[in-house]
Structure 1
Amino acid sequence: MKDVCGRFFGQIRHDGWLNAYFGEAAYPHVSVYTLGNPLIAQTMIQHDVIAGYYVPPKVFVVGTADGRGTRVVYDLPSSLIAAGREGELRRAAEGLDKKLEKLVEKITAKV
């Protein structure tokens, strides 16, 4: 994963509390992954420090009930960081969009 996103910052699992609340094994796997690269983040933060609220990006992964697949949910960073904006900030955020999309394609590719 390092060649695509740079850094893995952490994972927060939600299936434990979801299963405790809704019933054992209702959710086989639910996690939020935080990933990114500080060098890419700085390309946006230098234009608007508020971009730091949205980077590093997060990816939400939900396993299917039968355990045979997953759903991957994420926001395109540019839709949050550069909403309604143009210029260098938008271009940097769209570059991050492409990297994140490439990562999702890689982790969801059939082997």
Structure 2
Amino acid sequence: MTDTALMPFEAALPLMKAGARIARLGWKLDGKHLEYQPVRSYVTDDGEHRTLAASIVMRYPDGTWGQWEYSARSLLADDWFVGASGDLPRPEERALDAPEPCGCSEGRAIVADYANPSRAGA
């Protein structure tokens, strides 16, 4: 898998709903990913029928899972890919001379410095 497989969340969501697991490039824990859990029903021990709503769960490497607590930052990110964290090299693990996908002719990455807006692009 290569960086060309990176996508925004809105592109990854239909893939996840079709059965793929997805993750973000910057997640630190290898093997962590999101899974779609469709609506499912079950019968309790006392015979009551229950329905669980569809949801997105975070699956951890040890097999445990929990409800995904999303953020606007995650929903707006463009670093989603099909797979689990650790499947792609993280930005800090890439070679320093690797070309940056910045879209500029000089190969210089454009970086926004939100703490110091006057330095944006520096």
TM-score (norm 2): 0.25
Higher helix content, 1 or 2: 1
- Select the structure with the greater relative contact order (CA < 8 A; seq sep ≥ 6): 2
TM-score (norm 1): 0.26
Q: Which has the larger radius of gyration?
A: 2
